Amino acid sequence: MTIREFQEQIEAVYGAKDGARGTAGTFMWFAEEVGELSRALRRGNRAELEAEFADVLAWLATLASLHGVDLQAAAAAKYAAGCPRCHATPCACREPVAAHAS
């Protein structure tokens, strides 16, 4: 499944509802899922962990759709050629100065 296919799937399932809710409300749901991922990373079982990763990805995709961002294009543009800061694979950036070229 491509990133774009997943984004389109989430848009088909939740696009109308998320569009009506708007960015701020949708971001609150996204943030709640980030919190649930944190909890699952600390103490979740395998099924909970996988479900929380799926949820965070789904809400990220919805937020991207709400703003007309093609998540796959954005991801490939920044990371397909290696670290966007040091241009190496593996990344040779020194922390804490840079990691993932944020």
Minimum Å gap between C-beta 50 and its own copies is 4
CA angle 95–97–100, rounded 5-degree value: 70
57 binds its own copies (CB under 8 A): yes
Task: Report the site for its own copies in 16-35 (rule: CB under 8 A).
Answer: 16-17, 21, 23, 27, 29-34
45 binds its own copies (CB under 8 A): no
Minimum Å gap between C-beta 23 and its own copies is 6
